[in-house]
Amino acid sequence: MNGLTILAVTIAAALGAVMPAAFADPLPTQVGQCTQTTIARIEYRLQGMPQSGSAVSFANRGYQVSYDTVPAIVHSRAGDPVRMCLVKVPRGCPPGDSRGREYTTTNLRTHESWTLPDAEHSCGGA
């Protein structure tokens, strides 16, 4: 192995020790709060329908969805480390309906970000 290969293997091993594939801080609970987790799954908004939009699930049980195909999500992979920041919480929601929280997520491998809600409809919606 050359020096560059040894360095790459050493860095990869160190990152694996710091952030394993299933790493997950809890979801942020207050606007402006950020946590780190990993991508669990990249999906289409509607299962098996590529033109239906993007959806992504996280190891911390978070979820984001869009009617559009989001390039930053398409470029992501399961296991990628991400930073999720809560940016919006809907107001006036019925008791027990917490849908509509919006998160800005940054993929720490690709350095691309997206801002999406955690459900197709906000609280009180369909």
User: pLDDT tens digits, residue range 19-28?
Assistant: 444 568 899 9
Q: Look at residue 101 and tell me if it is in a domain.
A: yes
pLDDT exceeds cutoff 60 at 9: no
Neighbours of 99 (CB within 10 A): 15
pLDDT of residue 126: 67
Pick from 31, 94, 27: nearest CA to 62: 27
Q: Using H for helix, E for strand and C for coil, what is the string for the chain?
A: CCHHHHHHHHHHHHHHHHCCCCCECCCCCCCCCEEEEEEEEEEEEECCEEEEEEEEEECCCCEEEECCCCHHHHCCCCCCEEEEEEEECCCCCCCCCCCCCEEEEEECCCCCEEEEECCCCCCCCC
How far apart, in whole angstroms, are the C-alpha atoms of residue 103 and residue 122? 13
Between 123 and 55, name the one with better pLDDT.
Answer: 55
What is the token pair recorded at 37? 């987790």
pLDDT exceeds cutoff 60 at 7: no
Enclosing domain of residue 57: 21-117
Tally the domains of the chain.
1
Q: Look at residue 70 and tell me if it is in a domain.
A: yes
Q: Look at residue 30 and tell me if it is in a domain.
A: yes
Q: Look at residue 62 and tell me if it is in a domain.
A: yes
**Hey, what amino acid is at 69?**
T
Q: Look at residue 53 and tell me if it is in a domain.
A: yes
Band of residue 2 on the pLDDT scale cut at 50, 70, 90 = very low
Q: Look at residue 122 and tell me if it is in a domain.
A: no
- State pLDDT tens for residues 98-110: 899 999 999 999 9
Q: pTM, whole model, 2 decimals?
A: 0.78
Q: Look at residue 10 and tell me if it is in a domain.
A: no
Q: Look at residue 8 and tell me if it is in a domain.
A: no
